[in-house]
Structure 1
Amino acid sequence: MTEFVLVAGAWLGSWAWDEVVPELRAAGHGVHALTLSGLAERQGLPAGQQTHVQDIVDEIERLDLRDVVLVGHSYSGIPVGQAAERIGDRLRRVVFVDSNVPADGESFVSAWPEGRSMVEGSIAANGGFWAPLTAADYAGHGLTDEQIDRITAGATPHPGATLTEPSVLRRPLGELPATYLKCVLDGPEPMEAVAELLKSEHWELAELGTGHWPMFSEPQELARILLRSAAAS
Protein backbone atom coordinates (compact mmCIF):
# COMPACT_ATOMS: atom_id res chain seq x y z
CA MET A 1 0.00 0.00 0.00
CA THR A 2 1.34 3.39 -1.00
CA GLU A 3 1.13 6.27 1.47
CA PHE A 4 0.34 9.56 -0.26
CA VAL A 5 1.37 12.74 1.58
CA LEU A 6 -0.30 15.77 0.00
CA VAL A 7 0.93 19.34 0.52
CA ALA A 8 -0.93 22.26 -1.09
CA GLY A 9 0.61 25.50 -2.26
CA ALA A 10 0.58 29.05 -0.95
CA TRP A 11 -2.41 30.22 1.11
CA LEU A 12 -3.95 26.75 1.28
CA GLY A 13 -4.25 23.99 3.88
CA SER A 14 -5.07 20.29 3.92
CA TRP A 15 -8.68 21.13 3.02
CA ALA A 16 -7.57 21.84 -0.57
CA TRP A 17 -7.27 18.09 -1.17
CA ASP A 18 -10.76 17.16 0.05
CA GLU A 19 -11.90 15.93 -3.37
CA VAL A 20 -8.67 14.09 -4.16
CA VAL A 21 -8.32 12.15 -0.91
CA PRO A 22 -11.39 9.88 -1.40
CA GLU A 23 -10.21 8.92 -4.90
CA LEU A 24 -6.84 7.74 -3.61
CA ARG A 25 -8.33 5.93 -0.62
CA ALA A 26 -10.83 4.18 -2.87
CA ALA A 27 -7.85 2.72 -4.71
CA GLY A 28 -6.66 1.18 -1.45
CA HIS A 29 -3.92 3.59 -0.42
CA GLY A 30 -3.15 5.60 2.69
CA VAL A 31 -3.60 9.35 2.27
CA HIS A 32 -2.37 12.14 4.53
CA ALA A 33 -3.15 15.74 3.60
CA LEU A 34 -0.92 18.13 5.52
CA THR A 35 -1.36 21.77 6.56
CA LEU A 36 1.93 23.62 6.89
CA SER A 37 2.74 25.89 9.83
CA GLY A 38 1.21 29.36 9.69
CA LEU A 39 -1.62 28.43 7.31
CA ALA A 40 -5.32 27.48 7.61
CA GLU A 41 -5.97 25.88 11.01
CA ARG A 42 -2.29 26.37 11.89
CA GLN A 43 -2.38 30.16 11.54
CA GLY A 44 -0.35 31.96 14.18
CA LEU A 45 2.53 29.48 14.21
CA PRO A 46 5.80 31.11 13.14
CA ALA A 47 7.18 29.63 9.96
CA GLY A 48 10.15 29.89 7.66
CA GLN A 49 10.93 27.66 4.74
CA GLN A 50 12.85 25.14 6.83
CA THR A 51 9.90 25.02 9.24
CA HIS A 52 7.78 23.76 6.34
CA VAL A 53 10.40 21.19 5.37
CA GLN A 54 10.45 19.93 8.95
CA ASP A 55 6.62 19.88 9.10
CA ILE A 56 6.65 17.35 6.28
CA VAL A 57 9.50 15.23 7.59
CA ASP A 58 8.03 15.18 11.10
CA GLU A 59 4.61 14.03 9.88
CA ILE A 60 6.09 11.16 7.88
CA GLU A 61 8.28 10.06 10.77
CA ARG A 62 5.53 10.52 13.37
CA LEU A 63 3.21 8.23 11.43
CA ASP A 64 6.12 5.90 10.53
CA LEU A 65 5.09 6.04 6.87
CA ARG A 66 6.87 3.90 4.28
CA ASP A 67 6.45 3.65 0.52
CA VAL A 68 5.67 7.39 0.49
CA VAL A 69 4.54 9.30 -2.58
CA LEU A 70 5.17 12.89 -1.54
CA VAL A 71 3.09 15.42 -3.48
CA GLY A 72 3.82 19.15 -3.57
CA HIS A 73 1.65 21.72 -5.33
CA SER A 74 2.86 25.17 -6.44
CA TYR A 75 5.00 26.82 -3.68
CA SER A 76 5.06 23.56 -1.73
CA GLY A 77 7.22 21.90 -4.33
CA ILE A 78 10.10 23.74 -2.66
CA PRO A 79 9.75 22.26 0.85
CA VAL A 80 8.51 18.94 -0.56
CA GLY A 81 11.61 18.59 -2.75
CA GLN A 82 13.84 19.13 0.27
CA ALA A 83 11.82 16.80 2.49
CA ALA A 84 11.88 14.09 -0.18
CA GLU A 85 15.63 13.70 0.05
CA ARG A 86 15.58 13.81 3.86
CA ILE A 87 13.19 10.92 4.38
CA GLY A 88 15.61 8.50 2.72
CA ASP A 89 14.30 5.05 1.89
CA ARG A 90 10.80 5.96 3.08
CA LEU A 91 10.32 7.71 -0.28
CA ARG A 92 8.74 5.91 -3.22
CA ARG A 93 8.34 8.93 -5.47
CA VAL A 94 7.90 12.69 -5.35
CA VAL A 95 5.26 14.36 -7.52
CA PHE A 96 5.51 18.07 -8.27
CA VAL A 97 2.07 19.44 -9.23
CA ASP A 98 2.62 22.51 -11.43
CA SER A 99 5.07 23.55 -8.78
CA ASN A 100 8.26 25.38 -8.08
CA VAL A 101 11.28 23.19 -7.38
CA PRO A 102 14.03 23.87 -4.86
CA ALA A 103 17.54 24.89 -5.82
CA ASP A 104 20.27 24.90 -3.20
CA GLY A 105 20.77 28.41 -1.85
CA GLU A 106 17.81 29.82 -3.78
CA SER A 107 14.46 30.97 -2.37
CA PHE A 108 10.97 31.02 -3.86
CA VAL A 109 11.32 34.67 -4.81
CA SER A 110 14.87 34.44 -6.12
CA ALA A 111 13.76 31.73 -8.54
CA TRP A 112 10.89 33.94 -9.78
CA PRO A 113 12.62 37.20 -10.75
CA GLU A 114 9.64 38.62 -12.65
CA GLY A 115 7.42 38.21 -9.59
CA ARG A 116 9.90 39.01 -6.86
CA SER A 117 9.03 42.69 -6.42
CA MET A 118 5.30 41.88 -6.35
CA VAL A 119 5.68 39.20 -3.68
CA GLU A 120 8.10 41.20 -1.55
CA GLY A 121 5.86 44.26 -1.84
CA SER A 122 2.86 42.26 -0.61
CA ILE A 123 4.89 40.85 2.30
CA ALA A 124 6.02 44.36 3.31
CA ALA A 125 2.48 45.75 3.07
CA ASN A 126 0.80 42.91 4.95
CA GLY A 127 2.77 42.49 8.15
CA GLY A 128 5.14 39.85 6.87
CA PHE A 129 2.60 37.81 4.90
CA TRP A 130 1.88 37.30 1.20
CA ALA A 131 -1.74 38.33 0.76
CA PRO A 132 -4.08 35.76 -0.88
CA LEU A 133 -5.10 36.17 -4.49
CA THR A 134 -8.38 37.80 -5.46
CA ALA A 135 -11.12 36.00 -7.38
CA ALA A 136 -10.04 37.70 -10.60
CA ASP A 137 -6.59 36.08 -10.36
CA TYR A 138 -8.13 32.62 -10.81
CA ALA A 139 -9.68 33.39 -14.21
CA GLY A 140 -8.50 31.23 -17.08
CA HIS A 141 -7.60 28.24 -14.91
CA GLY A 142 -10.56 26.00 -15.64
CA LEU A 143 -12.34 26.79 -12.38
CA THR A 144 -16.06 27.38 -11.88
CA ASP A 145 -17.29 30.40 -9.95
CA GLU A 146 -18.18 28.09 -7.08
CA GLN A 147 -14.68 26.63 -7.02
CA ILE A 148 -13.12 30.09 -7.04
CA ASP A 149 -15.39 31.14 -4.18
CA ARG A 150 -14.30 28.09 -2.22
CA ILE A 151 -10.61 28.81 -2.73
CA THR A 152 -10.83 32.50 -1.87
CA ALA A 153 -12.98 31.82 1.20
CA GLY A 154 -10.51 29.27 2.57
CA ALA A 155 -7.25 30.98 1.68
CA THR A 156 -5.15 32.50 4.46
CA PRO A 157 -2.17 34.87 4.30
CA HIS A 158 1.08 33.02 3.57
CA PRO A 159 4.10 33.47 5.92
CA GLY A 160 6.59 35.64 4.09
CA ALA A 161 9.74 34.07 5.52
CA THR A 162 8.91 30.79 3.77
CA LEU A 163 9.22 32.62 0.46
CA THR A 164 12.47 34.47 1.10
CA GLU A 165 14.59 31.89 2.97
CA PRO A 166 16.91 29.72 0.83
CA SER A 167 16.51 26.03 0.13
CA VAL A 168 19.06 23.51 1.40
CA LEU A 169 19.68 20.46 -0.79
CA ARG A 170 22.13 17.74 0.15
CA ARG A 171 22.26 16.08 -3.28
CA PRO A 172 21.09 16.86 -6.82
CA LEU A 173 17.30 16.93 -7.09
CA GLY A 174 17.51 15.03 -10.37
CA GLU A 175 18.60 11.92 -8.46
CA LEU A 176 15.17 11.57 -6.84
CA PRO A 177 12.46 9.48 -8.53
CA ALA A 178 10.02 12.17 -9.62
CA THR A 179 7.03 13.07 -11.74
CA TYR A 180 6.44 16.67 -12.79
CA LEU A 181 2.81 17.41 -13.62
CA LYS A 182 2.41 20.43 -15.92
CA CYS A 183 -1.03 22.04 -15.91
CA VAL A 184 -1.09 23.45 -19.41
CA LEU A 185 -3.58 26.30 -18.90
CA ASP A 186 -0.91 27.80 -16.62
CA GLY A 187 1.56 27.73 -19.50
CA PRO A 188 2.30 24.96 -21.98
CA GLU A 189 5.94 24.37 -21.06
CA PRO A 190 7.68 23.65 -17.74
CA MET A 191 9.88 26.38 -16.33
CA GLU A 192 13.56 26.28 -17.29
CA ALA A 193 14.74 24.68 -14.04
CA VAL A 194 12.16 21.91 -14.40
CA ALA A 195 13.04 21.33 -18.06
CA GLU A 196 16.63 20.75 -17.00
CA LEU A 197 15.59 18.30 -14.28
CA LEU A 198 13.41 16.40 -16.76
CA LYS A 199 16.60 15.41 -18.59
CA SER A 200 17.29 13.05 -15.68
CA GLU A 201 16.48 9.38 -16.22
CA HIS A 202 14.72 9.48 -12.84
CA TRP A 203 12.19 12.15 -13.83
CA GLU A 204 9.08 11.96 -16.00
CA LEU A 205 6.67 14.59 -17.32
CA ALA A 206 2.89 14.35 -17.12
CA GLU A 207 0.40 16.91 -18.43
CA LEU A 208 -3.13 17.87 -17.45
CA GLY A 209 -5.39 20.12 -19.52
CA THR A 210 -6.41 22.43 -16.73
CA GLY A 211 -5.07 25.36 -14.71
CA HIS A 212 -2.82 25.79 -11.71
CA TRP A 213 -5.25 24.42 -9.10
CA PRO A 214 -6.13 20.92 -10.39
CA MET A 215 -7.22 19.62 -6.98
CA PHE A 216 -10.27 21.86 -7.44
CA SER A 217 -10.74 21.90 -11.22
CA GLU A 218 -9.91 18.25 -12.03
CA PRO A 219 -9.63 16.26 -8.77
CA GLN A 220 -10.47 12.87 -10.26
CA GLU A 221 -8.02 13.21 -13.12
CA LEU A 222 -5.35 14.51 -10.73
CA ALA A 223 -5.89 11.45 -8.53
CA ARG A 224 -5.51 9.16 -11.57
CA ILE A 225 -2.21 10.81 -12.46
CA LEU A 226 -0.97 10.42 -8.89
CA LEU A 227 -1.91 6.74 -8.94
CA ARG A 228 -0.11 6.23 -12.26
CA SER A 229 2.96 7.98 -10.90
CA ALA A 230 3.02 5.71 -7.86
CA ALA A 231 2.70 2.64 -10.06
CA ALA A 232 5.60 3.80 -12.24
CA SER A 233 8.05 3.81 -9.34
Structure 2
Amino acid sequence: MAEFVLVAGARLGAWAWEEVAPLLRAAGHGVHPLTLSGLADKRGVPAGQQTHVQDVVGEVERRDLREVVLVGHSYAGVPVGQAAGRIGDRLARVVFVDAEVPVDGASFASAWPDGGEALRACLAENGGFWPVATAAHFEGQDLTEDQIARIVRGATPHPGATLVEPAVLVRPLDELPATYVGCRYDGGEPDDLDDADDVVRRLLAGGRWRLVEMDTGHWPMFSRPRELARILLDEVAV
Protein backbone atom coordinates (compact mmCIF):
# COMPACT_ATOMS: atom_id res chain seq x y z
CA MET A 1 0.00 0.00 0.00
CA ALA A 2 1.25 3.45 -0.89
CA GLU A 3 0.54 6.67 0.97
CA PHE A 4 -0.30 9.47 -1.47
CA VAL A 5 0.28 13.05 -0.36
CA LEU A 6 -1.49 15.26 -2.90
CA VAL A 7 -0.57 18.93 -3.23
CA ALA A 8 -2.32 21.18 -5.75
CA GLY A 9 -0.85 24.26 -7.40
CA ALA A 10 -1.05 27.98 -6.74
CA ARG A 11 -4.27 29.35 -5.24
CA LEU A 12 -5.72 25.88 -4.67
CA GLY A 13 -6.12 23.64 -1.63
CA ALA A 14 -6.81 20.04 -0.65
CA TRP A 15 -10.31 20.42 -2.09
CA ALA A 16 -8.86 20.30 -5.63
CA TRP A 17 -8.35 16.52 -5.26
CA GLU A 18 -11.96 15.69 -4.36
CA GLU A 19 -12.50 13.59 -7.51
CA VAL A 20 -9.07 11.91 -7.51
CA ALA A 21 -8.70 10.94 -3.85
CA PRO A 22 -11.65 8.49 -3.68
CA LEU A 23 -10.32 6.59 -6.69
CA LEU A 24 -6.94 6.10 -5.01
CA ARG A 25 -8.58 5.05 -1.74
CA ALA A 26 -10.79 2.57 -3.59
CA ALA A 27 -7.61 0.90 -4.84
CA GLY A 28 -6.53 0.36 -1.23
CA HIS A 29 -4.04 3.18 -0.73
CA GLY A 30 -3.74 5.88 1.89
CA VAL A 31 -4.56 9.33 0.55
CA HIS A 32 -3.71 12.65 2.18
CA PRO A 33 -4.74 15.77 0.21
CA LEU A 34 -2.83 18.70 1.68
CA THR A 35 -3.58 22.41 1.80
CA LEU A 36 -0.45 24.54 1.94
CA SER A 37 -0.18 27.38 4.46
CA GLY A 38 -1.92 30.61 3.45
CA LEU A 39 -4.40 28.94 1.11
CA ALA A 40 -8.00 27.70 1.19
CA ASP A 41 -8.82 26.46 4.72
CA LYS A 42 -5.39 27.73 5.88
CA ARG A 43 -5.93 31.21 4.50
CA GLY A 44 -4.34 33.87 6.66
CA VAL A 45 -1.46 31.67 7.84
CA PRO A 46 1.85 33.44 7.00
CA ALA A 47 3.89 31.49 4.48
CA GLY A 48 7.20 31.59 2.65
CA GLN A 49 8.74 29.01 0.36
CA GLN A 50 10.25 26.96 3.18
CA THR A 51 6.93 27.06 5.05
CA HIS A 52 5.39 25.16 2.16
CA VAL A 53 8.25 22.67 2.12
CA GLN A 54 7.76 22.07 5.83
CA ASP A 55 4.00 21.69 5.30
CA VAL A 56 4.73 18.65 3.14
CA VAL A 57 7.51 17.21 5.30
CA GLY A 58 5.40 17.79 8.42
CA GLU A 59 2.42 15.92 6.97
CA VAL A 60 4.59 12.88 6.28
CA GLU A 61 6.26 12.94 9.69
CA ARG A 62 3.15 13.76 11.71
CA ARG A 63 1.29 10.81 10.22
CA ASP A 64 4.43 8.62 10.27
CA LEU A 65 3.85 7.72 6.63
CA ARG A 66 5.93 5.15 4.77
CA GLU A 67 5.99 4.22 1.08
CA VAL A 68 5.10 7.83 0.36
CA VAL A 69 4.18 9.04 -3.11
CA LEU A 70 4.43 12.82 -3.12
CA VAL A 71 2.33 14.43 -5.85
CA GLY A 72 2.89 18.08 -6.74
CA HIS A 73 0.83 19.93 -9.33
CA SER A 74 2.01 23.13 -11.04
CA TYR A 75 3.57 25.51 -8.46
CA ALA A 76 3.46 22.75 -5.83
CA GLY A 77 6.20 20.88 -7.68
CA VAL A 78 8.64 23.39 -6.16
CA PRO A 79 7.96 22.61 -2.47
CA VAL A 80 7.18 18.94 -3.17
CA GLY A 81 10.49 18.45 -5.00
CA GLN A 82 12.36 19.89 -2.03
CA ALA A 83 10.36 17.84 0.46
CA ALA A 84 11.05 14.65 -1.50
CA GLY A 85 14.73 14.99 -0.72
CA ARG A 86 14.06 15.51 3.01
CA ILE A 87 11.92 12.52 3.91
CA GLY A 88 14.64 9.93 3.32
CA ASP A 89 13.64 6.31 2.88
CA ARG A 90 9.98 7.17 3.48
CA LEU A 91 9.83 8.24 -0.19
CA ALA A 92 8.63 5.70 -2.73
CA ARG A 93 8.19 8.13 -5.61
CA VAL A 94 7.57 11.77 -6.42
CA VAL A 95 5.15 12.69 -9.20
CA PHE A 96 5.21 16.13 -10.80
CA VAL A 97 1.87 16.87 -12.47
CA ASP A 98 2.53 19.46 -15.18
CA ALA A 99 4.64 21.10 -12.52
CA GLU A 100 7.53 23.43 -11.98
CA VAL A 101 10.51 21.61 -10.53
CA PRO A 102 12.77 23.25 -7.95
CA VAL A 103 16.20 24.53 -8.92
CA ASP A 104 18.58 25.09 -6.04
CA GLY A 105 18.83 28.81 -5.28
CA ALA A 106 16.09 29.75 -7.76
CA SER A 107 12.46 30.63 -7.13
CA PHE A 108 9.22 29.75 -8.90
CA ALA A 109 9.35 33.22 -10.47
CA SER A 110 12.91 32.72 -11.75
CA ALA A 111 11.66 30.55 -14.61
CA TRP A 112 9.43 33.29 -15.99
CA PRO A 113 10.68 34.88 -19.23
CA ASP A 114 11.31 38.23 -17.50
CA GLY A 115 12.86 36.61 -14.44
CA GLY A 116 9.70 37.25 -12.48
CA GLU A 117 9.64 41.05 -12.67
CA ALA A 118 6.01 41.17 -13.79
CA LEU A 119 5.03 38.79 -11.01
CA ARG A 120 6.84 40.87 -8.39
CA ALA A 121 5.06 43.98 -9.64
CA CYS A 122 1.73 42.17 -9.42
CA LEU A 123 2.48 41.08 -5.85
CA ALA A 124 3.39 44.64 -4.88
CA GLU A 125 0.09 45.90 -6.28
CA ASN A 126 -1.93 43.26 -4.42
CA GLY A 127 -0.63 43.44 -0.88
CA GLY A 128 1.94 40.70 -1.37
CA PHE A 129 -0.48 38.18 -2.85
CA TRP A 130 -0.94 36.66 -6.31
CA PRO A 131 -4.60 37.39 -7.00
CA VAL A 132 -7.10 34.77 -8.07
CA ALA A 133 -7.25 34.24 -11.83
CA THR A 134 -10.39 35.04 -13.79
CA ALA A 135 -12.41 32.44 -15.68
CA ALA A 136 -10.75 33.50 -18.94
CA HIS A 137 -7.42 32.18 -17.64
CA PHE A 138 -8.77 28.62 -17.77
CA GLU A 139 -10.27 28.70 -21.24
CA GLY A 140 -8.79 26.32 -23.82
CA GLN A 141 -7.67 23.90 -21.10
CA ASP A 142 -10.12 21.03 -21.66
CA LEU A 143 -12.34 22.27 -18.83
CA THR A 144 -16.12 22.63 -18.84
CA GLU A 145 -17.76 25.87 -17.77
CA ASP A 146 -18.83 24.20 -14.52
CA GLN A 147 -15.28 23.03 -13.83
CA ILE A 148 -13.90 26.50 -14.47
CA ALA A 149 -16.51 28.03 -12.18
CA ARG A 150 -15.59 25.54 -9.48
CA ILE A 151 -11.88 26.40 -9.69
CA VAL A 152 -12.51 30.15 -9.61
CA ARG A 153 -14.98 29.82 -6.75
CA GLY A 154 -12.61 27.72 -4.64
CA ALA A 155 -9.39 29.63 -5.34
CA THR A 156 -7.76 32.00 -2.87
CA PRO A 157 -5.02 34.61 -3.36
CA HIS A 158 -1.60 32.98 -3.16
CA PRO A 159 1.02 34.22 -0.64
CA GLY A 160 3.64 35.95 -2.76
CA ALA A 161 6.72 35.13 -0.69
CA THR A 162 6.35 31.47 -1.65
CA LEU A 163 6.75 32.42 -5.31
CA VAL A 164 9.84 34.61 -5.08
CA GLU A 165 11.91 32.97 -2.34
CA PRO A 166 14.58 30.47 -3.45
CA ALA A 167 14.40 26.70 -3.33
CA VAL A 168 16.89 24.82 -1.17
CA LEU A 169 17.66 21.30 -2.37
CA VAL A 170 19.26 18.87 0.07
CA ARG A 171 19.26 16.05 -2.50
CA PRO A 172 19.75 16.38 -6.27
CA LEU A 173 16.50 15.85 -8.17
CA ASP A 174 18.11 13.41 -10.59
CA GLU A 175 18.66 11.00 -7.68
CA LEU A 176 14.95 10.81 -6.92
CA PRO A 177 12.62 8.12 -8.29
CA ALA A 178 10.30 10.44 -10.16
CA THR A 179 7.58 10.70 -12.78
CA TYR A 180 6.73 13.81 -14.77
CA VAL A 181 3.15 13.99 -16.02
CA GLY A 182 3.10 16.38 -18.94
CA CYS A 183 -0.27 17.82 -19.97
CA ARG A 184 0.01 18.38 -23.72
CA TYR A 185 -3.14 20.13 -24.76
CA ASP A 186 -3.66 23.35 -26.68
CA GLY A 187 -7.00 23.95 -28.27
CA GLY A 188 -7.65 20.23 -28.50
CA GLU A 189 -4.32 19.19 -29.99
CA PRO A 190 -1.42 17.55 -28.10
CA ASP A 191 1.72 19.64 -28.00
CA ASP A 192 5.21 18.52 -29.00
CA LEU A 193 7.35 16.78 -26.44
CA ASP A 194 9.97 19.39 -27.30
CA ASP A 195 7.86 21.94 -25.47
CA ALA A 196 8.98 20.40 -22.16
CA ASP A 197 10.98 22.66 -19.92
CA ASP A 198 14.77 22.41 -20.38
CA VAL A 199 15.33 21.41 -16.74
CA VAL A 200 12.71 18.69 -16.99
CA ARG A 201 14.18 17.38 -20.24
CA ARG A 202 17.59 17.03 -18.62
CA LEU A 203 16.10 15.20 -15.66
CA LEU A 204 14.19 12.84 -17.92
CA ALA A 205 17.40 12.09 -19.79
CA GLY A 206 19.12 11.04 -16.55
CA GLY A 207 17.48 7.62 -16.38
CA ARG A 208 15.61 7.77 -13.05
CA TRP A 209 12.70 9.90 -14.24
CA ARG A 210 9.76 8.69 -16.30
CA LEU A 211 7.57 10.78 -18.60
CA VAL A 212 3.83 10.18 -18.89
CA GLU A 213 1.73 12.38 -21.14
CA MET A 214 -1.92 13.34 -20.83
CA ASP A 215 -3.91 14.85 -23.65
CA THR A 216 -5.55 17.45 -21.47
CA GLY A 217 -4.92 20.89 -20.02
CA HIS A 218 -3.01 22.11 -16.99
CA TRP A 219 -5.63 21.08 -14.39
CA PRO A 220 -6.13 17.32 -14.97
CA MET A 221 -7.52 16.71 -11.46
CA PHE A 222 -10.60 18.55 -12.75
CA SER A 223 -10.59 17.77 -16.47
CA ARG A 224 -9.52 14.08 -16.33
CA PRO A 225 -9.62 12.86 -12.71
CA ARG A 226 -10.05 9.18 -13.57
CA GLU A 227 -7.19 9.19 -16.05
CA LEU A 228 -4.94 11.02 -13.60
CA ALA A 229 -5.82 8.57 -10.82
CA ARG A 230 -4.99 5.65 -13.11
CA ILE A 231 -1.61 7.18 -13.92
CA LEU A 232 -0.84 7.65 -10.23
CA LEU A 233 -1.82 4.07 -9.48
CA ASP A 234 0.32 2.79 -12.34
CA GLU A 235 3.33 4.72 -11.00
CA VAL A 236 3.06 2.92 -7.66
CA ALA A 237 3.86 -0.30 -9.50
CA VAL A 238 6.99 1.08 -11.21
TM over 0.5: same fold? yes
Matched residue SS, 2:103? coil
Matching residue within 176, 198, 205 for 1:199: 205
Secondary structure, counterpart of 1:229 in structure 2: helix
- Aligned match for 1:225, one of 228, 231, 234: 231
Matched, 1:133 2:133: yes
Q: Distance in 1 between matches of 2:117 and 2:82?
A: 25
Please report how far the alpha carbon of residue 144 of structure 1 lies from its aligned counterpart in structure 2 after TM superposition: 0.1
Which amino acid is the alignment partner of residue 212 of structure 2?
Answer: A
Instruction: Say yes or no: does 1:166 pair with 2:166.
Output: yes
Structure 1 stretch displaced more, 23-32 or 184-193: 184-193
Q: Letter of the aligned partner of 1:26 in structure 2?
A: A
Query: Hey, what's the Cα distance between the residues in 2 that align with 1:117 and 1:185?
Result: 27
Corresponding residue for 1:101? 101
Counterpart residue number, 1:7: 7
Residues 55-79 of structure 1: CA distance to partner in whole angstroms, max 9, x if unpaired? 0000100000000000000000000
Q: Where in structure 1 do 4 or more consecutive aligned residues deviate above 6 Å?
A: none
Task: Classify the secondary structure of the residue corresponding to 1:33.
Answer: strand
Q: CA deviation at 1:115?
A: 6.9
User: Could you tell me whether the CA contact under 8 Å between 2:75 and 2:108 is conserved in 1?
Assistant: yes
Q: How many residues align?
A: 232
Say which SS state the counterpart of residue 182 (structure 1) adopts.
strand
Tell me the secondary structure at the aligned position of residue 146 of structure 1. helix
Give aligned-pair identity as a percent. Answer: 66
Letter in 1 for 2:87: I
State the TM-score, normalized to the length of structure 1: 0.97
Alpha-carbon deviations, 1:174-223, whole Å to 9, x = none? 11000000000165431111011101111000000000000000000000
What is the SS of the residue equivalent to 2:111? coil
Give, in angstroms, the shift of residue 117 of structure 1: 2.9
Point out where structure 1 has 5 or more consecutive residues left out of the alignment. none
Contact (CA 8 Å) 2:86, 2:171: kept in 1 or not? no
Q: Which amino acid aligns with 1:148?
A: I
Confirm whether residue 88 of structure 1 aligns to residue 101 of structure 2. no
Determine the C-alpha separation between the residues in 2 that align with 1:118 and 1:224: 37
Corresponding residue for residue 178 of structure 1? 178
Note the aligned Cα RMSD (angstroms): 1.0
